[in-house]
Amino acid sequence: MLRCIKSANCICAIIISNLALLLSPSAHAGDIEITPYIGQVFSSDLVNSLDATDLTIDDASHYGLAIAWQDSPNGQGQILINRASHDFISSSDLQVHSFDVTYAHFSGVAQFRQRNYVTTVSLGLGGAYFQTDNKDETYPSLTIAFGTRYELSKNFAIVTELRGYASYIEDDNQLFCQGTSCHALLDESMWLEGTVSVGFAFSF
C-alpha cells in the first residue's frame, strides 16, 4: 500500500507542477484549451515466464485529457493525462490478468497553420504509472506525437493524433511477479506503446 501511495504521489507531483504553469503570466485568458479524447492503443508484447516466448496483450481502447495554453502564435504548452487498461493470459496459471497504465506528461506543441487546418508536432516528458495485480510502480517516460486539427470555429476544433510513448523500466522485472511466481515478464528495459486518437478541443 505504501508503494502505491508513493507512486501515486509521484504522478500527482507531475500534474501539480504542470498545473502551476497554467497560473503563470504567460497563460492569458482566452488561451486555455481543453481536449478530451479516445482511441486505440497498441503495446509491446510481454514475455512468457516459462519459455521466454512472446506473450501478446490486447490492443485496448484508451482515454485521456489534454489541457493546453497558447504560449506563442505557433506554440502551446500542454499537460497530457492518458490511461489504458490491458488484458493478457498468464503463463503461470493460464488465467486472464489485467494491468493499467496511466501517463502524465508535460509537452511542447509546435503548430503549423494553413488557414483552418493545423498540423502539430509535440514532444513531452513525464511519468508512466503501472498498476498490476502484484505491484504498482512509476517510471520515467517520453512521448512524441504528430497530429492534425481542423478549426470549425475560434473556440472549437476536431483533433486527430498519432502518439508514441517510451517508458524506461527497472531491470528487476517484478511488475507481474509475486514471490518466485511470475505471470509474465517485461521484454528488456523499455516499454513502448502507440496510440491513435480523436478528440474535440474547446478553447476559452
> What's the pLDDT at 3?
47
Mean pLDDT of 36-56: 86
Nearest to 105, CA basis, from 85, 83, 120: 83
pLDDT in tens, 69-86: 999 999 999 999 999 999
pLDDT in tens, 144-163: 999 999 999 989 999 999 99
Is pLDDT at 171 greater than 50 in this prediction? Answer: yes
> What's the pLDDT at 161?
98
Domain holding 6: CATH number?
2.40.160.20
Strand ranges inside 44-168, DSSP E: 46-47, 54-55, 61-72, 75-89, 96-114, 117-131, 136-153, 156-168
Instruction: Look at 62 and 54; give whichever has higher pLDDT.
Output: 62
How far apart are alpha carbons 120 and 99 in whole angstroms?
A: 31
Bridge partners, residue 163, by sequence: 145, 195
As for how many domains the chain has, the answer is 1
Is pLDDT at 121 greater than 70 in this prediction? Answer: yes
Show the cell assigned to 199: 478528440
Residue 137, domain extent: 2-203
Least confident of 1-5, 38-42, 44-48, 167-171: 1-5
Q: What is the DSSP string of 178-197?
A: ETTEES-B--TTEEEEEEEE
> What's the pLDDT at 172?
59
Is pLDDT at 12 greater than 60 in this prediction? Answer: no
Average pLDDT, the chain: 84
Is pLDDT at 133 greater than 90 in this prediction? Answer: no
Of the pLDDT bands very low, low, confident and very high (cuts 50, 70, 90), residue 24 is very low
Instruction: Look at 33 and 54; give whichever has higher pLDDT.
Output: 33
pTM of the model: 0.82
> What's the pLDDT at 9?
53
**Alpha-carbon dihedral 87, 90, 93, 95, rounded to 10 degrees:** 20
Mean pLDDT of 173-197: 84
